[in-house]
């Protein structure tokens, strides 16, 4: 059941994009995407419950203002 997922660690997975399933985890509170090859934030639109987000050591060029809300 996707509604029961509150924490997700996808660190060190060589991701180049955020998996689509992540956007369906509407109750997600903690997400670790560190140490991947991500360069954009597509996939964060529905994650309004995020409290802890680790995106360190990726290839981001810019950060959308929505991530700070």
Q: What is the pLDDT of residues 22-34, one digit of tens each?
A: 989 999 999 999 9
CA 59 to each of CA 1, 36, 62: distance values in angstroms, whole numbers, following the listed order: 32, 8, 9
pTM passes above 0.85: yes
Dist. CA 59–CA 57, nearest whole Å: 7
Place 66 in a pLDDT band, splitting at 50, 70 and 90: low
> Of 9, 13, 11, whose CA–CA distance to 34 is shortest?
11
Indicate whether 67 pLDDT > 90: no
Displacement of CA 35 from its chain's centroid (Å): 12
């Amino acid at each position: 059941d996707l509604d029961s997922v509150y924490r997700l660690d996808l660190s060190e997975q060589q991701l180049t994009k955020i998996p689509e399933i992540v956007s369906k985890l509407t109750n997600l509170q903690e997400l670790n995407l560190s140490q991947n090859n991500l360069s954009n934030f597509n996939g964060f639109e529905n994650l309004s419950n995020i409290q802890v987000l680790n995106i360190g050591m990726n290839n981001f060029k810019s950060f959308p203002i929505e991530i700070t809300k």
